[in-house]
Structure 1
Amino acid sequence: MTDNHLFESKTKLLIDGLKSTCANYGLGNDGNEFKIITQVFLYKFLNDKFIYELKKLKPNLAAAEHLDEAIRMIPEAEYELLMLQLNEGTARLQPEQFISRLYQRQSEPKFSEIFDNTLLAIAKENSDIFSVITEEGEKIVLFENISKYITDKRDDFCKSIINKLVHFSFEEIFKEKFDFFATIFEYLIKDYNTNSGGKYAEYFTPHAVSKIMARCLVQDEVSNVSCYDPSAGSGTLLMNLAHQIGEDRCMIYSQDISQKSSNLLRLNLILNNLVHSIPNIVKGNTILEPYHKKADGHLQKFDYIVSNPPFKLDFSDFVADLDTKQNNERFFAGIPNVPAKKLESMAIYLMFLQHIMYSLSPTGKAAIVVPTGFITAQSGIEKKIRERMVKDKMLAGVVSMPSNIFATTGTNVSVIFLDKQNKGDVILIDASNLGTTVKEGKNQKTLLSTAEEDRIIATFSEKKAEEDFSVLVSYDEIEAKNYSLSAGQYFEVKIEYVDITQDEFQAKLGSYQQNLALLFADSKDLEIEIHENLKGLKYA
C-alpha cells in the first residue's frame, strides 16, 4: 500500500471512529450528526495545519520532546510575531486550544464546556477570514457549541471525541502534499449530502462530469481569473475548476440558499487550499437576491461559471418578486408560469441558466448541467434561451451524457458549454452510448472509464467530428434546425449502395415477386377461412 493510500485509509478510520462515537451517544442518523462530524474533523485539520506551519517558521519545535510545553515557552511577543507570519490559509490558535492540551485536561470538571468554549474561541479569533456570510451580511463562523446536541453525558462524549482526534496527525500529508482530499471530503459527508427537505438538493456532481466540465472549459494556462457557481452545493464543480486552473491563480465565488451547503463548501475550500476565497461564499437565494455585485450596484461578471442547478423546484412563493423591470435583461426569455398543480415541477434551472448567461464577462466561459430535454424543446423559454445562445454567438458545444450518470435521478442530462468568444463552429457530442452500468444501492448508475472521459474531452477540445459520436455545426445550421442542440439530428443519414449485375438484379426481383405472390395467396386463404368462421358463428 502506498503512503497516499495508507493515509487515506487512516483518515477514513478516523471519520468512522467519529461517526461511531456519535452513534454511541444517540446521534446515529440524527440530523445534527453531520454538524458535529464536519466541525470536529475541521478542528482536527486546522489544529494540525497550524502546528505544521509553526514548525516551518520555528524549526527547533520539530525536535521538541514535549511540543505543547515548548510552544507555551515561546514569549508572548514572539508568538504574536509568528502569528503574523502565518499564511492566510492557516487558522490562528493559542496553545491552550490545541487538541493535545484538551486531551490533558479531559479529567477536569465540566469538560464539555471547556471543549465547546475552545471551539467558540477559535471561531471568534478567525472569523474575518473563515466566516461564510449571508446575503444580509451576517457571519456564519467556523464552530458552534456542539455538545448541546447531546442530552446526557456530555463530558463523556467530548472526551471520546478528543481521544479519537489525539492519536492521528495530518502533518505527514501536508509535507508530502498528497492530493487526496477530494476523496476524503466525499467520504466525510457521504451520509449527509442528500436533499433533506430543504430548498435545493445537495447531491454530488459525479466526478466524471466535473472533470469533463473543468477540462473542456480550461484548455490553456490562465491566471487571476474569477470562478463562480450560483448553486454551489458542496462545491464539487468549483474544486475541479480551481484544480484545473491552479488554486493560486483563481478566486472562487458562490451562492447557495442552503446553510448546510455553504458550510460544506467552506470545509471543501479549506481542505483544498482555497481559504482566500471563503469571504466570497454566500448563503442566500441567487435567483431572488444575487449577492455578488460591482461598486455601481450592477451584478458582477465572471470569467468562468460552472453549475449543476436544481432542475425543478417550487419557487412560487417568490416568483412574483422576479417580474420586475430590473430583472428584464437578466431573465430575458421569461419566467415559468406557476402551474395549478405540481408546484414542485417548476423549471427553476431555466432561471439559473439565464442568470449565468447574464453573469458572464465579455470573454467568459461557462458549463451548465441541464436536462437533455432542454436541448430539443420546440417552444417556450427553453427555445428562447437557445436562440439567444446562437444569435449572440456564445455557444461552444453540448455533450449529451449517458442515462443514469447521476445515480440519484433518472433524468438524462447534457452539459451546455458557453464561450462568449466562440464565433466559429459548435461541437455537439452524443456520449449517451458510453459507460458501464453498475448497481449503486437501489439505483442504477452509469460509470465512464478514464478512457471514455478523455475521449469526450479530446473530441471537444479538438472540435473533432467522429461518425455517430460528434459533429461540427455552424450557427446557421443550428438556426435551420429550429435551434436543436442534439447531435443526432445532424448526423449524416447513411445509405449503403451495392454494385450488382443486371442478371443478379432480375434474379432478386423475381425472388421478391414470387415471395409476394405466395404471401398474397396465403392472405386470400386466411380471408376465406375467417369469412367461413364468422358465417358459422352467425347461424350457431
Structure 2
Amino acid sequence: MKKTTKSDIETVLWKACDSFRGKIDSSRYKDYVLSMLFVKYLSDVCIETKEKYMKKYTGDERRVKRAMGREPFTLDEDATFDYLYENRNDSEIGQKINIALNSIEEHNSGKLRNVFRAIDFNSPVDFGEKKEKNGILKNLLTDFHTLDLRPSVLESNDIIGDAYEYMIANFASDAGKKGGEFFTPSQVSKLVARLAEPKVNDRIYDPTCGSGGLLLKAYTQADTKKVAIYGQEKNMQTWALCSMNMFLHGIDDARIWQGDTLSNPQNLEDDKLMTFQVVVANPPFSLDKWDSGFLPDATDEKKKPKMSAELDMYHRFDWGVPPSSKGDYAFVLHMLNCLDAKNGRMAVVLPHGVLFRGASEGRIRQQIVDFNLLDAVIGLPANLFYGTSIPACILVFKKNRSRREVLFIDASGEGHFEKGKNQNVLRDEDIEAIASAYKAYETKDKYSYVASYDEIKENEYNLNIPRYVDTFEDEEMVDIEDVRANIASIERELKEVQAQMDVYLKELGL
C-alpha cells in the first residue's frame, strides 16, 4: 500500500493555492486551503473508522452508529469531503460547503465549536461572481480529492500537523508583516519552549498564541501528554487556525480562547486570573493603542481622568500603566500575574526597547528587578521574524527565585546564526549554545555575563545587553616600523616605474 508522505500533502496544498493566486490575497485564501485540508482529514478518518466498525460488527448499522458516537468526532454523510466532491458542479457548492462546516461544528461543539465561524465559502467579497466562485471551489475540491489522509496510509502520525505548520510558515513568509502576525519561526519557538522548561503535570499558557506554534513546541518539549494547554488569540481567523492546528496535532483537549487578552482575559477561575506553571509568548511588538479595550470611565480624588487600565479589576497594572503607544509591558504584567507563585517559569520574546526605555516602562522594569522576578536576558540576531528586521530578545522570568543575579547572553553576533536569503535562522547548535549557557549560568567572555542586583541598580535598572556583555574585539596593534618599511618599499618601486616611463617617453620622442 502506497503511503501518503508530508511531501505529497505539501504538493497538493500548493496546487490548491494555485487555484486562488491572482484572485484572492494570500492572507485570506490560507483560511480556505487550510480549512479544506482539515475537512478532508476529518472525513478520511471517519471513513476508515466506519469501515473498521462495519467489518467488526458484520454490517450491523445500529451497532456501527453507536460505536461511531463514541469516537472523538463525528460527521454526517452530507458533511463529508466525498459528499462535497460529488457535488462539486452544483451551482450552490459554496453554500453546501458552508452547511457542511456548520454541521461539523454542531456535531462536535465540545472540540470544534466556532472553528469555521470566520470562514465563508460563499463570500462574494472573496470569490466575486457565482460563476468565478464555483470554478475556484470546483478546482479546490478536485485538488484535494487525490489526497488520501486515512490514518492507515499516513507515513507517520505527525505529518498532517507538520504539513499544516509548514503551510502556515510559508503563508507568513509570503504575506510579510500581515502573515507574521500569527507565526513565530519554528526555531525561535523551540528556543523559547526549551528555556521555559515545561514538564509533567504543568499547565502551559500562551496569551497571544497566534496559530499555536509556540504552544506546540512547549508541548513537545515537555515530552509527555500529561500537560494542559491553554491559549488566547484576538484575531478570529488566527484563533480558528490555532484550534485546528491543536486538533491535527492530537491535542484535542487544548483550551484556546478567543478575545483580547489585555482587556478581556479568558483565563479565569472563581473570578480571578488562572495561574500556570509555564508561560510562553511572542506578543505583538510595541502594540499601539493596546489599552483601547479599557473604557476611561473613572476619575481619581482630584477629579483627573484616570486610565481605566489603572483600575484593572485583576490588578495587573498596579506597578504602573505602560504607555498607550507601546503594549510590551502590558503583556509582561499580564503574564507575570498569571504565573504560578511556587514554581512559575516564563519566557517571552520582546523588542530591545523594553530593556532601556524610561518613564512608566522604566518604573515597571525596576519593580520587576526589585521583586527578583527576572532570571535572564538573551539577545537574538536581527531579521529572525517575518515582517520585521529589528533584533529581539528573550526575557526569562521565574517566581520564587533563590538567586538575585541576572544572566545576560548576547547571541546576536556573527557565528551565532545562519544567514538566509530573506530571514536569518537559528540553527540547532545556536539553540544548544544559548540553552547550555542559560543552564550553566556563568560569565563567558564575549557571550554571557552574570550581573549582580547592585550592578543593575547602579545602571539605574537599564538592562541593555552591551552594558553587561562586552563583545568588542580588540584591533591588532599596528607595527609602525613595518608600516615605514612598507612605505619605503612602495616609494622605491614608484621611482623605478617613473624612470622606466621616462625611457619609454624618450624613445617615442615625447
* Counterpart in the other structure of 1:386: 365
| 1:155 Cα offset (Å) | 4.8
Give a deviation string over 1:381-416, Cα, whole Å, max 9, x none: 332233222222222211111122224213221100
* Counterpart in the other structure of 1:281: 256
Instruction: Give the alignment partner of residue 458 of structure 1, picking from 412, 418, 436.
Output: 436
- What aligned pairs does 1:14-25 form with structure 2 within 5 A after superposition? 14-23=12-21
Instruction: Determine the C-alpha separation between the residues in 1 that align with 2:117 and 2:189.
Output: 27
- What aligned pairs does 1:71-220 form with structure 2 within 5 A after superposition? 73-75=59-61, 77-86=62-71, 88=72, 91-106=73-88, 110-131=92-113, 139=114, 141=116, 145-149=120-124, 150=127, 151-153=129-131, 154-171=133-150, 172=152, 174=154, 176-178=156-158, 181-188=161-168, 190-191=170-171, 202-218=181-197
* Counterpart in the other structure of 2:31: 35
State the SS of the aligned residue for 1:331.
coil
Instruction: Look up the equivalent residue of 2:283 and give its one-letter code.
Output: P
Q: Which moved more, 1:10-19 or 1:143-152?
A: 143-152
State the SS of the aligned residue for 2:171.
coil
Instruction: Determine the C-alpha separation between the residues in 1 that align with 2:366 and 2:407.
Output: 17
* Counterpart in the other structure of 1:330: 316
| 1:34 Cα offset (Å) | 2.8
Instruction: Give the alignment partner of residue 287 of structure 2, picking from 313, 338, 349.
Output: 313
2:207–2:281 Cα contact (<8 Å) kept: yes
Instruction: Determine the C-alpha separation between the residues in 1 that align with 2:82 and 2:241.
Output: 26
State the SS of the aligned residue for 1:249.
coil
Instruction: Look up the equivalent residue of 2:275 and give its one-letter code.
Output: K
2:78–2:84 Cα contact (<8 Å) kept: yes
Give a deviation string over 1:116-165, Cα, whole Å, max 9, x none: 4333222221123212xxxxxxx555685513444223555444333222
| 1:355 Cα offset (Å) | 0.9
| 1:486 Cα offset (Å) | 4.0
* Counterpart in the other structure of 2:336: 357
* Counterpart in the other structure of 2:244: 267
Instruction: Look up the equivalent residue of 1:293 and give its one-letter code.
Output: L
| 1:429 Cα offset (Å) | 0.8
C-alpha spacing 1:323/1:53, structure 2 compared with 1 (3 Å): same
* Counterpart in the other structure of 1:67: none
**Is 1:481 matched with 2:459?**
yes
1:399–1:416 Cα contact (<8 Å) kept: yes
Instruction: Give the alignment partner of residue 408 of structure 1, picking from 383, 387, 395.
Output: 387
1:19–1:28 Cα contact (<8 Å) kept: no
2:310–2:320 Cα contact (<8 Å) kept: no
Gaps of 5+ in 1: 62-69, 132-138, 339-345, 497-507, 516-540
Instruction: Determine the C-alpha separation between the residues in 1 that align with 2:442 and 2:187.
Output: 20
1:120–1:144 Cα contact (<8 Å) kept: no
Instruction: Determine the C-alpha separation between the residues in 1 that align with 2:367 and 2:49.
Output: 51
| 1:310 Cα offset (Å) | 1.4
Gaps of 5+ in 2: 297-306, 485-510
Instruction: Give the alignment partner of residue 258 of structure 1, picking from 229, 235, 245.
Output: 235
Instruction: Look up the equivalent residue of 2:345 and give its one-letter code.
Output: K
C-alpha spacing 1:175/1:385, structure 2 compared with 1 (3 Å): same
| 1:10 Cα offset (Å) | 0.9
State the SS of the aligned residue for 2:348.
strand
Instruction: Determine the C-alpha separation between the residues in 1 that align with 2:465 and 2:169.
Output: 37
Instruction: Determine the C-alpha separation between the residues in 1 that align with 2:89 and 2:182.
Output: 41
1:194–1:203 Cα contact (<8 Å) kept: no
1:202–1:234 Cα contact (<8 Å) kept: no
| 1:419 Cα offset (Å) | 1.1
Instruction: Give the alignment partner of residue 46 of structure 1, picking from 39, 42, 58.
Output: 42
1:127–1:142 Cα contact (<8 Å) kept: no
| 1:252 Cα offset (Å) | 1.9
**Is 1:435 matched with 2:417?**
yes
State the SS of the aligned residue for 2:277.
strand
Give a deviation string over 1:311-361, Cα, whole Å, max 9, x none: 2233164453633434583113322445xxxxxxx1111211111111111
Instruction: Determine the C-alpha separation between the residues in 1 that align with 2:16 and 2:117.
Output: 19
* Counterpart in the other structure of 2:5: 7
| 1:227 Cα offset (Å) | 1.4
C-alpha spacing 1:417/1:58, structure 2 compared with 1 (3 Å): farther
2:5–2:155 Cα contact (<8 Å) kept: no
Instruction: Look up the equivalent residue of 1:234 and give its one-letter code.
Output: S
* Counterpart in the other structure of 2:506: none
Give a deviation string over 1:159-209, Cα, whole Å, max 9, x none: 4333222221123465632457345323256336888998x9624212221
| 1:283 Cα offset (Å) | 1.9
C-alpha spacing 1:50/1:189, structure 2 compared with 1 (3 Å): farther
State the SS of the aligned residue for 1:19.
helix
State the SS of the aligned residue for 1:415.
strand
State the SS of the aligned residue for 1:254.
strand
TM-score normalised by L of structure 1 = 0.75
Instruction: Give the alignment partner of residue 401 of structure 2, picking from 422, 432, 440.
Output: 422
TM-score normalised by L of structure 2 = 0.79
1:302–1:361 Cα contact (<8 Å) kept: yes
State the SS of the aligned residue for 1:228.
strand
**Is 1:242 matched with 2:219?**
yes
Instruction: Name the count of aligned residue pairs.
Output: 456
Instruction: Determine the C-alpha separation between the residues in 2 that align with 1:52 and 1:476.
Output: 65
Percent identity among equivalent residues? 21
* Counterpart in the other structure of 1:369: 349
1:194–1:201 Cα contact (<8 Å) kept: no
Q: Which moved more, 1:266-275 or 1:481-490?
A: 481-490
2:31–2:119 Cα contact (<8 Å) kept: no
Instruction: Determine the C-alpha separation between the residues in 2 that align with 1:486 and 1:244.
Output: 29
C-alpha spacing 1:32/1:492, structure 2 compared with 1 (3 Å): closer
Instruction: Determine the C-alpha separation between the residues in 1 that align with 2:337 and 2:435.
Output: 26
